Structure formats: C-alpha cells, structure tokens
Amino acid sequence: MKAAQSILHTLALPVVLVATWWVVSFDSTNVYFPSLQRILQAFPATWLDGGMESRLVVDGFASVWRLLVGFVVATVIAVALGTLIGLLPRVRAYCEPTLELFRAIPGPVLVPIIGLFAGIGDTMKIIVVLLGCLWPILLNTVEGVRAVDSVMIDTAKSYRLSPRRRIVKLILPAASPQILAGMRQGLSVGIILMVISEMFAATNGLGFTVVQFQRNFALPEMWTGIIVLGLLGLVASVFFQIFESRSLRWYTGMRRAARDA
Amino acid sequence: MLEVTHLQKLYRTAETSFEALRDVHFTVAPGEFVCLVGPSGSGKTTLLKCMAGLMKPTSGTVRVADKAVAGPPEGLALVFQEYGRSLFPWLRIAENVELPLKELKIPGKERGARVAEALAHVGLENSARSYPWQLSGGMQQRVAIARAIAYRPDVLLMDEPFAAVDAQTRADLEDLVREIWRDLKITTLFVTHDIDEAVYLAERVIVLSSTPTIVQREMIIDLPSERDQLSTRALPRFSELRHDLYAEIQKAKTHSALTLTA
C-alpha cells in the first residue's frame, strides 16, 4: 500500500506534464514543434528498427560506453588523488587554489582543445567526460577526507592500524557520503559533456544522432532523440541512487537514529 | 608497567609559551588500578595524550611494559570519553572489536573467539551484528571496552569514559570495569574528575595540581577489594577517603608547580 502510494506520487507529475504536452501540441502545425503524437509515431522506426543494428543499440551503446569509462576512470583518479591531498595538509595548501581554478573552467571549452591532440575518436570523448567528472569528485573527496573525526583518527592510531588499513577501514568509509555526493554531481556533468562532445565531432552516439536529424530537418526524429537522452539520464540516476543507498546504508541509519534520539 | 618520568610539556607558539605539564612523575605497578584526578584544566588530557603516544612531550619519558613510548605503543589500549566518535559507524559491533586484532595478525578463528569472549564479558553477546548507532550510549561504551580487552593490552588507559552517560548506567559500567580489572588483571589507569568514582574504583589515586602540573599527592585507597555500589559507599572509611580527596582537589585548584615547589 505504502509502496503503491509512493509510486503514484513519483509518477503523478510526469504523467500530468506528458498529458499537457500531448494536449497542447495535439493540432500543432509548427514545423519546429511537432505534436507529441507525431514524435511518438516516429519513435519506433527511428530507434528500434533493425534489432541489434538499431540506433538505440548502436548509438546508445557508443554513448553509454564513453560515459561509463570516463566516469569510472575519473572516480578512481579523483578518489586516489583526493585522499592524498586531503591527508597531507602541505600538498593541500599548494593544490587547492589551482584546483578551484580548474573547476571553474566550463567543461565544454575543453572539447576543441582536446580534439586537437586526441582526435575525434572515442578517446577524445572519454577524456572530455573524464575531465568534467573529475573536479566535483576530487574536491568532494578532499573535503570528506579532511573532515574525518579526530577521535576516530586517534583511535586508529592508538590501535596502531597500518596506513593502508587506516585508509580502507576509516578514511574512505568516513568520507564516502561526500565522495558519493561528488560522484552524483560528476555523473550529471559527464552526461552533458558526453552529448556535447558527440555533437561536436563524431560518427555515432546519441548527441551525434540528434544533431544529424536537426541538420536534415527531420524534426520529429530529432525530438525522439531528446526523449532518449532524457530517459538515459533518468536510468543513470536510478542506478546511481540504488548504488548510493546500498553503500551508505550505515549513514542513513545513523542519521535516522540521531534524529529520533 | 606504566612509568611516567619527569614529564614536561610546553605548548609554544611564535609569541607565547604555555607550560601544561611541569614535572609529572609516577608509576603504575603491574596489575594495579589507579585513578588520576585533578581539577579541570590540570593537563589531564595532555598527560593522557603523551602516555598514549599521540603527542610528544617536551622532555621526560613514558615507558609502557618497559619500552619507551615514541608514537602509540604496543600493548596499550585507550578508551575515549566520546564513545560515539571512537567506534566506526560503518562497521558492525563485532567488526569494530575485531579490527585491531586484524592488525595484530591473529588468525581468523582465534580472532572470532576473542571477539565473542570480549563481547560476552561486557554483556553484549547478542549485539554482535548490530551497528554502534543502534545501541544506547552506555552500550556503545561497553563496545569500546570490549574492543580494548579483546586487544589484551598490558596497560588500559581510560579517559573519563563515563562522563557522558547517565548515573544508573555509570554505576553499572563502574562495576563492569572493576570486574574486568579483577578477572583479567590488566594494569589500569582511569582518568576522571569525579571524586566518588575515583575512590570507588581505585586501589590508589593520583592527584594532579593545576597547570603547570605536577603530582600533588598520591592516596592509597584501603577499601576491601570486593566493592559494591551500596555497601562500599556506605562504609565510614569511604566517606573519610572521599572527604580527604575532596579537600585535596580543592587545594589543587589553587596549587601548581609554582606554589608547591616554592
């Protein structure tokens, strides 16, 4: 009953929005804003025809692959580097202003530069996604590592835990709520950069497909591409939420206990 | 077992210098239970951190089990006042107790046995799979004590461990600590600011002066070794000792190395 109710609450607004779109656009004659009905009619032929050769599989896979590799590699580098910077005040003092500067550079401006030396293949797109994801994860990791409780650190020291064990059993779990917050930001930046890098110079991928349709004035098809991208973002966010709530079960439990006390 | 020799600690900044410890000198014999009391601001925390190897003294030495302390020593377990910040909330109770044993490279089977035994000792055998935040404050401090005794230390240091729990829990935990000390014969140094607690628990009480700190007095607590919250506290001797210690602490509030050695 509770679950049914929460699903109802989650779906209520999307249903209202889609219905509104449907009704308002129903007799649209505007070439740029075709009716939702026409867009949905164009959807199956555009994305699903061809089975394993369909656009959804081929271009979807190309995009998701670039996003995933960039995001995962960025996470590994950012957590490793962030832990190091967070643990060593000296290094932090040198790095922090520079990191803030790099973070302020908008990711999309990197596309032409990286294109110069990494070409227009997968490598370029992965590097763009990676560099975009890196900063939020890195800075959040540094903050999380810095904020580890001093009594816990003294406990680990007094029981003579080795540096490796201290990092694995204390520093990383303690910083994990912030690391995951950084990863969530990084993921949404990554999706944006994935699309932009594909729009710029590519031969496949979702961003490429959308631009391709636009250039050929296949506007209902272009709109279906935007719907696919929206759904991709939704799926990514759902998967991330599942991952987050599983990793941070202790954290949510602790906060609930503190609130009830 | 625990020897503190002419310990001095100066906190220096560019312009100022603050002398927390002047010349602290005492020993705790193997298997002894000693309480360390002093007025607030008597450098108890500084002294404790120096003994635990978490802070370097300016001069003097600390020896644990005949080895000079430079960094956290082997064979020393520390129980903090802030139990909630000393247990790791992402680990279950048994995992918290087990973690230091992994560092000692004790084989898995024996680790499990030690964890179970330590949890049974503090009455938490049924909470092994819980998380710290699912337990009350008193139970969390029991976990911290279990972690310390599973470690089988030569010296157990406790830093005002019961200052943050309610009175009833506190009495239970005092009896638990006495019982553990009697059963396991661990050399115990218990820091407290509570006079009653010091007299009830200790075989000997060391009174610290105000800063710059020296040992102002040592008092033998000649109460029977079987102690009980009701009958021990009702003994005339208990009141006498409590009275003496109270007077001593009052004196310590105005005494320091400056007035006592002058």
CA distance B35 to B172: 18
Element (H, E) at A147: none
Chain B residue at shortest CA distance from A254 = B133
pLDDT single digits (tens) A16-45:
999 999 999 988 888 889 999 999 999 999
Residue indicated by tokens 């555009």: A46
Tell me the per-residue pLDDT of A188-217, one tens digit each, with 9 for 90 and over.
999 999 999 998 878 899 999 999 999 999
**Residue among A145, A163, A160, A156 nearest B88 (CA):** A156
pLDDT of residue A108: 83
Per-residue confidence band for B261, with pLDDT thresholds at 50, 70 and 90: low
d(CA B171, CA B184): 20
Lowest mean pLDDT among A75-79, B39-43, B104-108, B221-225: B39-43
Mean pLDDT of B232-258: 89
Apex B62 CA angle, B61 and B66, nearest 5: 115
Domain ranges of chain B: 2-75+153-253, 86-152
Of A154, A160, A257, the CB nearest to B103: A160
pLDDT tens readout for residues B3-14: 999 999 999 888
Q: Which of A194, A223, A236 is nearest to A47 (CA)?
A: A223
Structure confidence at residue A223 (pLDDT) = 94
Tens of pLDDT along A131-177? 999 999 999 999 999 999 999 999 999 999 999 999 999 999 999 99
Neighbours of B100 (CB within 10 A): 22
Q: Which two tokens stand for residue B226?
A: 């079987």
State pLDDT tens for residues B86-104. 999 999 999 999 999 999 9
Query: What pLDDT, on the 0 to 100 scale, is given for residue B190?
Result: 95
Give all domains of chain A, ordered by start, each with its CATH number.
54-260 (1.10.3720.10)
Angle at CA of residue B66, ends B160 and B45, nearest 5°: 20
- Interface confidence, given as ipTM, is 0.90
Q: Which of A152, A160, A174 sits opposite B72 (nearest CB)?
A: A160
Range A55-84 average pLDDT: 95
A55 closest CA partner among A198, A204, A195, A213: A204
Q: How confident is the model at residue B186 (pLDDT cuts 50, 70, 90)?
A: very high
Look over chain B and give the mean of its residue pLDDT values, rounded to a whole number: 91
Say if residue B210's pLDDT is above 80: yes
Query: Residue B262: what pLDDT?
Result: 45
User: Nearest-CA residue of chain A relative to B136?
Assistant: A261
Asked whether B209 and B257 are in contact (CB, 8 A), the reply is yes
Verify whether the Cβ–Cβ distance B90 to A251 is below 8 Å: yes
The identity of residue B96, as a single letter, is N
- Residue B119 phi, psi dihedral angles, 5° rounding: -65, -35
Predicted confidence at residue B259, as pLDDT, reads 78
Determine phi and psi for B57, rounding to 5 degrees.
-70, 160
Each residue's pLDDT tens digit, B40-72? 878 888 999 999 999 999 999 999 988 898 899
Torsion from C-alpha of B44, B45, B47, B50, nearest 10 degrees? 170
For residue B52, which of B73, B67, B81, B31 has the smallest C-alpha distance? B73
Q: Which residues contact A115 (CB under 8 A, 6 or more apart)?
A: A124, A200, A201
CA distance A245 to A240: 9
- Tell me what the mean pLDDT of segment B121-133 comes to: 94
Residue among A151, A165, A174 minimizing CB distance to B82: A151
Q: What confidence tens digit (pLDDT) does each residue in A211-255 have?
A: 999 999 999 999 999 999 999 999 999 999 999 999 999 999 999
Which pLDDT value is given to residue A237? 93
**B172, B173, B177, B180: CA torsion to nearest 10:** 70
The strands making up B17-28's β-sheet, listed across from edge to edge, are B67-68, B59-64, B2-12, B17-28, B213-220, B204-208, B33-37, B187-191, B155-159, B76-79
Among the listed residues B165, B12, B7, the one whose alpha carbon sits nearest the alpha carbon of residue B81:
B165
Within 8 A of B91 by CB-CB distance, chain A residues are 169
Q: Does domain B2-75+153-253 have CATH number 3.40.50.300?
A: yes
Q: How many CB pairs under 8 A join A and B?
A: 66
